[in-house]
Amino acid sequence: MADVLDDLAAEYRQLDAVLAALSPAEWSAPSGADGWTVADVVLHLAQSEEAVGSPAAGDTVAFLPSTATTVDGAMADLVAAERDMPPDAVLARWREAAFATPDTLRSYPPGTRLAWVRTSLSPRTLATTRLAEHWAHAQDITVPLGIDYPDTDRLRHIAWLAHRTLPYAFSVAGRPEAAVHCDLTAPDGTHWTFGDPAAPNRITGPAADFCRVGARRLTPEQTALTADGPDAADALRLVRNYAA
């Protein structure tokens, strides 16, 4: 795969081009994230991106260790506390944090583990999660506003993340892990494969659909994905690109 840090920077630039062109009415319009305006979504991205550069990210203890609070609930509380910021300030805040992230993550030596949500991640895996989150929230901004946001080969990182974390997705649902092979069609028509080809479960179809299901922006029934095998349909229902 292409370097995830370079691709993360490219994803930021693509989103920045969209945000820079928004009108005041679009900033205050409802987003695809329930209860949030477009400005709220960008504020959330700024707040979460600031955590990447925080000294606490180098700690071994995750910054949301309590299972009593959901990730979504904690993020909603943070947005509610600061949502009175004007759009130009929100955009400037996001830019400052986001454009620093690739170099920040690149600066860590091999073997570094960074605290993130309820666990710790390598810098490159954290970069993958940031790419996945920005891409998903870009859908929340662009789809309701009818703004074009083309799929790119950067989705390969997100598809990898979704497949790699299937054991976590099964565990969140209280289910035993199941081996799954994915054969996904990239935006350019090539194929991306993940997992053991001999696995008893197989998911095939557009990578863009797989990523959107993992981001909970589409249901499996709304896609062209197929699931074959005893646990494949459940895997497709449970897959997620983000922490619970």
- What is the tens place of the pLDDT at every residue in 13-38? 999 999 999 999 999 999 999 999 99
Put simply, whether the predicted model's pTM sits higher than 0.85 gets the answer: yes
Answer for the pair 200, 231: CB distance below 8 angstroms, yes or no.
Answer: yes
Q: Is the pLDDT of residue 64 over 70?
A: no
51: Cβ–Cβ under 8 A, 6 or more apart, which residues? 57, 63, 116
Mean pLDDT of the chain: 92
Answer for the pair 11, 134: CB distance below 8 angstroms, yes or no.
Answer: yes
pLDDT at position 57 is 56
List the beta bridge partners of residue 193. Answer: 183
Split at pLDDT 50, 70, 90, the class of 153 is very high
Answer for the pair 63, 173: CB distance below 8 angstroms, yes or no.
Answer: no
DSSP per-residue string spanning 163-211: HHTHHHHHHHTT-----EEEEEE-TTS-EEEES-TT-SEEEEEEHHHHH
